[in-house]
Chain A
């Protein structure tokens, strides 16, 4: 199932996105470029601030860790030199998690991370913050089997699929830029270098575009096909946004 996204629905934020996929629902809001506190000001670049609020309870070091990962990844794609001495403030609120998330055996921070990255990116696109490229992210899980091969990999599994495949030996989150460069690589568990390499290759196929240039292809594969191309999905979301903004041109 392809993820769903609604853009620019919060009127008081410069940009916003609600992202829903496989039971994970996250609302992201971006404000910027706005005034930055003197102590955080950087003379030649923009300051990026990420705030993550969990679905239940208050923020803990888990959220701080995810904020650091998000901050480092997003800062590498935001064109910070074009808006110096300003602040780009990204706020992410986890609305809901799938019920089985806590019992999958995989670190819940890892399962949530790709969805957080997508929400943040969509909110940044909604706020028209200058970016050097887009990014897509995916979770790969390697269950414990006697002969782990590429065919036993779980690409972007749902919480139920992870539960059924228990025990999971290792889980990996990869994020790729629009040009195919790896931006984030977080792994957890026991694995060999070959297993990691295969997981990275599979992730690249899911995340990136096959051909070069501006893709004009339409449509997302649904129903059964694992790992539909995320770059195509992102393009279709942006196309919907642009059509929505320009509907006055064709209105009666």
Chain B
């Protein structure tokens, strides 16, 4: 169902809270106007998840807005006494990444990150009123779980929708990476802010993989077309 800003979503289009979950969760693009109206704020398609009793508007345009819990690729710009100032998107206020939010960091042993280095982090807090805060460590366990500085690799920009698809696994319909991974070894970090860091070992492979992802994004390739693209890339390496 395609909605425009201001459209009130009819009650029967929304999942009904049953059983354990008593409340309806509204995701991006929807707002609640008390007492009982749910209205859309952006143009897109309405998506409902009956299992999670959630509804949101799907749209692949616009700028990334930091949300709590997102995995992002941040670029370190400067360092203050207590934290690194990082950017998630250009022309927005810095996101802070505390020096101690790394695995095994103490006041005596802080990580040394040069400007323009890349970090795979999680957004710890992001509200509309404050600048976002990042963390490279799971707050409850203290372990990094794959987060931390990205030592090598090249940055490729992709659309926000593609980033969500890559992070969604099989539901995202991206078979390109598995197809490439059968013959090639590479490391990849996907950030929800539309940034992908690829490390293929050498320049040719890295570029080929990154460009392939961008093509699958820009041309909206289906599974068959992605497999053909993967074959083409593997042949050219």
Contact = CB atoms under 8 A, between A and B. Distances in A.
B168 interface: no
B128 A84 contact: yes
Given A84-B129, A214-B7, A239 B2 contact: yes
B1 interface: yes
Interface stretch (A50-58, A93-101, A103-111, A121-129): A121-129
Interface string B47-76: 000000000001111110100000000000
Contact of B173 (A86, A179, A242, A249): A249
A34 B60 CA distance: 18
A130 B225 CA distance: 35
A120 interface: no
19 contacts: A15-B61, A79-B31, A85-B129, A125-B4, A125-B5, A125-B42, A126-B61, A128-B44, A129-B42, A129-B62, A132-B6, A132-B39, A134-B6, A177-B6, A214-B3, A214-B8, A242-B59, A249-B173, A252-B224
Contacts of A132: 5-6, 39, 41
Contacts of B63: 14, 31-34, 127-128
B82 interface: no
A251 B225 contact: yes
Given A125-B5, A214-B7, A252 B91 contact: no
Q: Which 8 A-B pairs have the closest CB atoms?
A: A128-B62, A251-B222, A133-B6, A131-B5, A248-B220, A130-B41, A245-B60, A34-B91
A134 B4 contact: yes
Interface string B118-142: 0000000000110000000000000
Given A131-B42, A252-B222, 6 more contacts: A14-B61, A35-B92, A126-B61, A129-B42, A133-B6, A249-B173
A9 B4 CA distance: 20
Contacts of B58: 245-246
B45 interface: yes
Contacts of B59: 128, 242, 245
B26 interface: no
B15 interface: no
A21 interface: no
B31 to A, nearest CB: 8
Interface string A69-109: 00000000101001111100000000000000000000000
B10 interface: yes
B221 interface: yes
Contacts of A178: 4-7
Decide if the interface of chain B is mainly helix, strand, loop or mixed. Answer: loop
B208 interface: no
Contacts of B4: 125, 134, 178, 234-235, 238
Contacts of A246: 45, 58, 60
A194 B68 CA distance: 55
Contact of A33 (B1, B5, B43, B65): B65
Given A33-B65, A126-B61, A247-B220, A131 B128 contact: no
Interface in A1-55: 7-8, 14-15, 31-35
B220 A251 contact: yes
Contact of A130 (B10, B42, B173, B221): B42
Given A82-B128, A127-B62, A248 B5 contact: no
B9 to A, nearest CB: 8
A15 to B, nearest CB: 6
A77 B5 CA distance: 10
Interface in A189-234: 213-214, 234
B10 A214 contact: yes
A252 B173 CA distance: 11
A246 B164 CA distance: 13
B161 interface: yes
A206 to B, nearest CB: 18
Interface centre among B4, B10, B29, B129 (most CB of A within 10 A): B4
Contacts of A214: 1, 3, 7-8, 10
A169 interface: no
Contacts of B224: 252
A238 B225 CA distance: 27
A251 B92 contact: no
A177 B6 CA distance: 9
Contact of B45 (A8, A35, A242): A242
Contact of A242 (B41, B43, B65): B43
Contacts of A128: 29, 42-44, 59, 61-63
